[in-house]
A = this chain, B = another copy of it.
Amino acid sequence: MAFHKHAHFTPAEQRLAAIAKALGHPARIAIVRMLAQRRACVCGELVLELPLSQSTVSQHLKELKAAGLVQGEVDGPRVCYCLDAAGWAVARELFGDLLAEIPIATRAAAAAPDCC
């Protein structure tokens, strides 16, 4: 069933998994890229540029916010979203740590099958 047995994994594994899960949808990747490119906050502009309804975009933003990757601030009648620098620092670090554990493919290793 779905009473996920997360208790047995390290905090770093759980945090990285949560971040990866938040990025595990093309729309959320696209949202992050849009927020990164125009550094200023884009509020409902996201809805205009995405092939999704307003409520769906709002939910995606909620998930990104829950993962600590995005911040939202109320700015008058609208809400101003931007990337959460602290969250992305964590993402960089945790993903970097993981990649550091993984051997990089060399030409020799690519020639011979690298399994077994």
**A→B interface (CB under 8 Å):** 4-6, 8-9, 13-14, 16-18, 20-30, 32-33, 36-37, 39-41, 50-52, 71-73, 75, 80-83, 85-86, 88-89, 91-92, 95, 98-99, 101-105, 109-110, 113-116
Q: Is A82 a contact partner of B116 (Cβ separation < 8 A)?
A: yes
A73 contacts which of B23, B51, B81, B115 (Cβ < 8 Å)?
B115
Q: Is B113 a contact partner of A73 (Cβ separation < 8 A)?
A: yes
Query: In whole angstroms, how far apart are the Cα atoms of A23 and B36 in the complex?
Result: 23
Query: In whole angstroms, how far apart are the Cα atoms of A111 and B98 in the complex?
Result: 29
Q: Is B101 a contact partner of A85 (Cβ separation < 8 A)?
A: no
Q: Is A39 a contact partner of B103 (Cβ separation < 8 A)?
A: yes
